[in-house]
């Protein structure tokens, strides 16, 4: 009997927390993590085309003004790596954007001066090209490098055109579709909100289309989840945005500035409505990197408005004027 009991006890499984098991356990070495392997691969990749393009900038005598900041062009590469699965594709596209940026900066040497003072702003502007899926290609006219002064610091900003902003909003996944259109005298236009909201626009194809005949503009957007959004601004509201733009008004010599609001009023009106659309859209379905990039670009109007307000405070009020309404008056004698 004792032998049978001993055999039965030997056949019974020991509890998992039994210390008797501990000496028998062998700790297996952990397999190398995939992330580490990927990181090593990423570190070993050499962007040959970008390197060659930067080397060309350093060695070309015609690009001498860029020699001092040539290495800055290499820093945004990781953003291109994240934006494109194929590192060779990232290398190819970034090399092109470096070339476009160099052309743009040579045609506006003030950009070089700003990049020298604030190289990080140039890095961020080129990073935003990758995040936005846009391009500095002068033929496509989607985006530009523009110098601004933000909080008294000269800064290079990636400035999107109307078409560039539409492309950016679609590429980041914020919308499926977005468009903006002007409304002119003679057009049929009706907009309503609420449970039976609708937007109707029937353009008069033969009406005169100019800044004098435009009544306003509107946007129409389909969000990523299929929700439709739309809104409008009348010409008075659009012109307030125009008046706050740093590109309008007079230059230091008292001459009218060469502003897109003068040469391309309709396109700037469209862009104003795209900015209105962006402000009203929910933004919780895109990554933080893409959101920061969008904020950096679309926040420009807000910064321009704030700068405009600050400039107005610096202007001394005219004698015998009522500041709030700016209505002139005369003393009654």
Between 177 and 312, the more confident residue is: 177
**Pair 67, 114 in one domain:** yes
In the chain the first and final C-alpha atoms are separated, in Å, by 132
Output the pTM of the full model.
0.63
Task: Give yes or no: residues 136 and 181 share one domain.
Answer: no
What would the pLDDT profile of 102-156 be if each residue is shown by its tens digit? Answer: 999 999 999 999 999 999 999 999 998 887 788 999 999 888 998 877 778 889 9
**What is the C-alpha to C-alpha distance for residues 1 and 58, in angstroms, rounded to an integer?**
94
**For 262-280, what is the mean pLDDT?**
92
The SS3 assignment for 165 reads helix
- Are 101 and 140 within one domain? yes
What total of structural domains would you count in the chain? 2
- Give domain status of residue 4, yes or no: no
**Looking at the domain assignment, is residue 218 inside a domain?**
yes
- CA dist 94 and 50 (Å) reads 7
- 296 CB-side CA count, 13 A: 23
In the chain, how long is the greatest CA-to-CA distance? 132
* Domain co-membership, 152 together with 254: no
Assess contact for 191 and 145: CB atoms under 8 A. no
Residue 332 lies inside a defined structural domain of this protein: no
**151 and 177: one domain?**
no
**44 or 54: which leads in pLDDT:** 54
Please give the full DSSP string across 76-93, using - where no structure is assigned. THHHHHHH-SSHHHHHHH
Strand ranges, E, within the chain: 143-150, 153-160, 175-184, 188-192, 198-202, 214-223, 228-234, 321-322, 327-328
Q: Residue 55 pLDDT more than 80? A: yes
Q: Is residue 121 part of a domain?
A: yes
Q: Look at residue 218 in the predicted model and tell me its pLDDT.
A: 98
pLDDT at 196 (0 to 100): 86
Whether residue 156 is found in the same domain as residue 183: no
Looking at the domain assignment, is residue 83 inside a domain? yes
Residue 187 main-chain phi, psi, to 5 deg: -75, 155
Answer yes or no: do 117 and 205 share one domain.
no
Q: Which of 303, 300, 297, 302 is CA-nearest to residue 174? A: 297
- Beta-bridged to residue 189, according to DSSP, are 201
pLDDT tens track for 86-104: 999 999 999 999 999 999 9
pLDDT > 90: percent of the chain? 49
32 belongs to a structural domain: no
Whether 51 and 140 map to the same domain: the answer is yes
What is the pLDDT, as a whole number, of residue 33?
Answer: 52
Regarding whether 142 and 81 lie in a shared domain, the answer is yes
Q: In terms of residue numbers, what domain contains 142?
A: 46-160
């Amino acid at each position: 009997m004792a032998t049978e009991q001993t055999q039965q006890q030997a056949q019974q499984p020991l509890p998992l927390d039994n210390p008797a098991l501990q000496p028998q356990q062998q700790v297996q070495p952990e397999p190398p993590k995939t992330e580490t392997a990927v990181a090593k691969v990423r570190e070993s990749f050499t962007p040959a085309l970008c390197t060659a393009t930067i080397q060309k900038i350093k060695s070309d005598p015609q690009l001498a003004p860029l020699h001092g900041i040539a290495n800055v062009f290499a820093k945004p590469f990781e953003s291109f790596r994240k934006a494109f699965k194929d590192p060779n594709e990232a290398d190819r596209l970034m090399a092109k954007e470096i070339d476009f940026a160099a052309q743009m900066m040579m045609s506006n040497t003030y950009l070089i001066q700003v990049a020298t003072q604030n190289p990080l702003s140039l890095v961020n502007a080129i990073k935003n090209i990758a995040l936005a899926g846009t391009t500095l290609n002068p033929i496509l006219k989607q985006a530009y490098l523009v110098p601004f002064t933000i909080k008294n610091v000269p800064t290079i900003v990636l400035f999107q055109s109307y078409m560039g902003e539409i492309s950016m909003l679609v590429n980041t996944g914020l919308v499926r579709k977005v468009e903006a259109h002007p409304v002119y005298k003679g057009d049929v236009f009706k907009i309503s909100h609420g449970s039976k909201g609708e937007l109707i626009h029937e353009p008069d194809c033969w009406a005169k289309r100019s800044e004098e005949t435009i009544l306003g503009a509107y946007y129409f957007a389909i969000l990523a989840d299929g929700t439709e959004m739309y809104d409008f601004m009348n010409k008075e509201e659009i012109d307030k945005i125009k008046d706050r733009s740093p590109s309008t008004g007079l230059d230091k010599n008292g001459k009218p500035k060469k502003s897109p609001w003068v040469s391309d009023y309709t396109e700037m009106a469209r862009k104003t409505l795209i900015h209105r659309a962006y402000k009203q859209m929910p933004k919780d379905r895109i990554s933080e990197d893409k959101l920061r990039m969008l904020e950096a670009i679309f926040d420009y109007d807000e910064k321009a408005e704030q700068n405009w307000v600050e400039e107005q405070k610096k202007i001394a009020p005219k004698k015998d004027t009522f500041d709030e309404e700016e209505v002139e008056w005369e003393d009654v004698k």
